[in-house]
Structure 1
């Protein structure tokens, strides 16, 4: 059996890694170890970033899908929209209905990405109460709350969803 010799560090002190006699070997091992740790840390940071971005994409997609179906029946909303809203907002929701010539304030274009800047509650209240200083009147006396949510659900299908701009 071989005797273990003390290790001498750079300052000539004994101790450190047992079984290693050459201080230069200790120094080189230490540098290589630190370099490999640095590479691993960078890889870990990149992996963490990929995971975070993936989770954000999944969350956005899931919330969009939930918003499409959570509040109302899209098919019923389309039927109500064609019956009550298409005169001003157009059959495709582009704001170019046959009654547009008579309007001073143009109706909303629900096909434009900008229409997504309104919250669901803002749109719901516009349908329910109308919009001040515009020809958009409220529908609370003619449509049920569920019918208004159905219309909102349909309106949300008209504008393209693009979370990146």
Structure 2
């Protein structure tokens, strides 16, 4: 009898990233963690708010992500804000490095989730929004809300 594969369980989302940046591409990568960090993530202790990714010597590194220390981890707990290596193919890393260098894009983690028991990071290749872009998005969101409200009352 085949095993059922569990779906995607979201641990943390970076909602601010979609407000601050245009997401040009998204890439799913693995992340290198220690056991106590995974246990902490299972209880939902992660924050992506100030996180970003960088390419150092051909490796993708996630910096600024906070994983709260596991309560029963005592001496095995690591620094909550330590840099963590992201797992991606060399060709994908080269492509991202080229986009960052030529286009001036930024790598921002959009989501952290479990997929079939493994922790994955959705990494976005992003371009910064200007203030007028943010205002246009807010105006479009307000207009959509007004239209939805009018449609609901018209029924």
TM-score for both structures, normalised by structure 2: 0.24
TM-score for both structures, normalised by structure 1: 0.23
Higher share in strand: 2
- Select the structure of larger CA radius of gyration: 1
